[in-house]
Amino acid sequence: MIQISSLLWKGSLVGLLAVILGAFFLWPGSTPGIKEFPQAEYDFVIIGAGTAGSVVARRLVEGTNNSVLIIEAGGEPSWISSIPLLSPSLQMTSADWGYKTVTQARAMWGLNDQQAAWPRGKVLGGSSSIYYLIHTWGAKQDFNDWEKKKGCTDWSFQNVLPFFQKSEAFTSRKKQTGHRGYKGPLHVSEFDASQSPVAKGFLESARDAGLDIGDLNGELELGAMPCQSNIHQGKRWTGFQAYLKPVLGLPNLDVVIETVATRLIFEGKRATAVEILKIPTGDVQHVRARKEIILSLGTVGSPHLLLLSGIGPQKDLESLKIPVVASIPAVGQGLLDQLNVPMYFHLSRPASITTSKVRSLGQMWNYFVKGKGVLAESGIEALLRAPMSQSSLDPALFLMLFNMGSVNADIFAKIANFKDDAFRTSFPDSHNDSKEGFIILASCLHARSRGEIYLTSSDPSVAPVIDPHYLEEDYDVKCTIQAMKLAARLAKSEPLRRLGVKLHLPDYSECSQYNQTMRDPRYLECWARTGGITGYHPMSTCRMGSDDNPDSVVDSKLRVRGVKGLRIVDGSVFPSQTSGPPNAAIVMVAERAAEFIMEDAVSDT
Ligand X SMILES: Cc1cc2nc3c(=O)[nH]c(=O)nc-3n(C[C@H](O)[C@H](O)[C@H](O)COP(=O)(O)OP(=O)(O)OC[C@H]3O[C@@H](n4cnc5c(N)ncnc54)[C@H](O)[C@@H]3O)c2cc1C
Interface residues with ligand X (CB under 6 A) are 47-53, 71-74, 91, 119-122, 126-128, 130-134, 260-261, 296-299, 301, 305, 536-537, 570-571, 581-584, 586
- Where b means 16+ CB within 10 Å and e means fewer, 73-86 reads bbbbbbbbbbbbbb
For residue 259, the minimal CB distance to ligand X (Å) is: 6
For residue 495, the minimal CB distance to ligand X (Å) is: 25
For residue 301, the minimal CB distance to ligand X (Å) is: 3
Taking each continuous run of H as one helix and of E as one strand, the counts in the chain are 17, 26
Question: Which single residue brings its beta carbon nearest to ligand X?
Answer: 50
Work out the angle between the directed axes of helices 140-148 and 157-167 (0-180°, nearest 10). Answer: 130
For residue 408, the minimal CB distance to ligand X (Å) is: 15
Closer Cβ to ligand X, 7 or 499, answer by number: 7
3-state secondary structure of 147: helix
Spatial CA neighbour of 279 closest among 37, 447, 44, 60: 37
Closer Cβ to ligand X, 19 or 295, answer by number: 295
For residue 335, the minimal CB distance to ligand X (Å) is: 13
Q: Where are the alpha helices (DSSP H) in 241-386?
A: 298-308, 314-319, 355-358, 361-370
Closer Cβ to ligand X, 152 or 305, answer by number: 305
Q: Residue 321: exposed, middle, or buried by beta-carbon count in 10 A (0-12, 13-18, 19+)? A: exposed
Rounded to whole angstroms, how far apart are CA atoms 271 and 227? 42
3-state secondary structure of 15: helix
* DSSP assignment letter at 12: -
Closer Cβ to ligand X, 19 or 46, answer by number: 46
Q: What is the sign of the dihedral through the CA atoms of 192, 196, 202 and 208? A: positive
Spatial CA neighbour of 588 closest among 140, 218, 137, 121: 137
Spatial CA neighbour of 539 closest among 282, 332, 308: 332
For residue 10, the minimal CB distance to ligand X (Å) is: 24
For residue 575, the minimal CB distance to ligand X (Å) is: 14
Closer Cβ to ligand X, 306 or 501, answer by number: 306
Closer Cβ to ligand X, 490 or 586, answer by number: 586
Phi, psi angle pair for 313, to nearest 5°? -65, 120
For residue 228, the minimal CB distance to ligand X (Å) is: 10
Closer Cβ to ligand X, 128 or 355, answer by number: 128
Q: Are 449 and 473 in contact (CB under 8 A)?
A: yes
Closer Cβ to ligand X, 340 or 493, answer by number: 340
Contacts of 443 (CB under 8 A, 6+ apart): 338, 339, 340, 341, 397, 398, 399, 400, 480, 483, 535
